[in-house]
Structure 1
Amino acid sequence: MSDRTMALVTGANKGIGYEIAAGLGALGWQVGVGARDEERREAAVAKLRAGGADAFGVPLDVTDGASVTAAARLIEDRAGRLDVLVNNAGITGGRPQEPTLVDPATILAAVDVNVLGVVRVTNAMLPLLRRSASPRIVNMSSTVGSLTRQSTPGAQVGPIAAAYSTSKTFLNAVTVQYVRELRDTNILINLACPGYTATDLNAFSGVRTPEQGAAIAIRLATLPDDGPTGGFFDDEGEIPW
């Protein structure tokens, strides 16, 4: 068992997730690269290792309970604990997403990955996080999940997205419930918004680089023991709910 800080990043084979893994690896941490696509996962691990990171692959499909259980077992066998969990895996869902046109299956698919996937992974990893001296959970959300911003006339909150935006609002609400339940523990749990980042989720139309998008997650993953919990942050500060 290693004394080095152990992190798991879901959806880490590309984009923001990859850059989060790279940033944590640059700190000298062990980083589990969680991803379901074996070829992309192992390619990401090889690239991270070539850059000096202590990275390893974690086969992980957040929609599959057996896969999540196996991932927790792999982390336990490797380190005996988990210090940081970054729930980054997510999908936008297909189009159309106007509420009068959206296929309910599109909403369910987004919720399964973006919300239930976080619940599955978090619950499987909690016993390992409880063994850490300074456990952190970072859930990757978005300002499009802010009901305040969504309901503010003239606010720039992206296209109407009854699946994606709603799933992020749902994730925010679920995160609050985790914070309430775990408030008397030393686990700090926060939500991060990467900003409008160029990834394949938006056909690379974003204005921020994945490295820029990863910065807020890395900051929340490395909070001091007296850092905040139950917050919703981007690079500029707190985001209104």
Structure 2
Amino acid sequence: MSGAGSVALLLVVVVANPVAAGAQVISGTASAVDGDSLVVDGQKVRLFGIDAPEYTQTCKRGDETWDCGRAAKEKLSALVAGTIVECRRVSVDSYGRAVSTCMAGPEDLNRTMVEQGWAVAYREFSADYVGAEQHAKRNGLGIWAGEFELPSDYRASQLPREPELRGQFVRPRRTAPAGLSSCVIKGNRNRRGQWIYHLPGMPYYEATRPEEMFCTEAEAQAAGYRRAIVRP
């Protein structure tokens, strides 16, 4: 085949088969499904590395119970309204949604939702938004203005009544690496949204179900946990 023929054939192949990288980007108008899920240009998208209250979830501020799940959806809706959203796919979840980092113009949607207190950093999958979460927690923003149940805990509590939630972003809890017997510090998040770690010998150590295990107190603190208070 001549050089000209080869070039022509190559052009046909390129037109018929867009580069794979292009398939990793989803762009278009968007609508919010809840505080961490979108439909972008007709495709379902799950925001990577964050976890917002479920739409039916409630939180507390003092004696007041409020619809924090609905409020999180409304916040995400406001962020995407009237703009083109561009999402870069990281992976695909068990529901076929594109797990992505998304921008609405200059706005980083994943980071903004956590930084403003409408979602938590989903540490089981990424530490990218831990700093943003700590900002929201320090300033009492969004759900951090009161008490709340972690969205993952809420989903688990609803499974007997809502089996369609089963399998949503669940993976085994992190345990100490094999051979590292010093990784015995238990990190646990309670229903008030507090992150507490327990050392061997502390009163509730044996009864604590760890969500994460740490080798040192410094590692636990860097992940946002505080030491359990032992009262006399």
Could you state the TM-score of these two structures normalised by the residue count of structure 2?
0.26
Higher RCO (CA-CA < 8 Å; seq separation 6+): 1
- Higher share in helix: 1
- Higher share in strand: 2
Could you state the TM-score of these two structures normalised by the residue count of structure 1?
0.25
Larger radius of gyration: 2
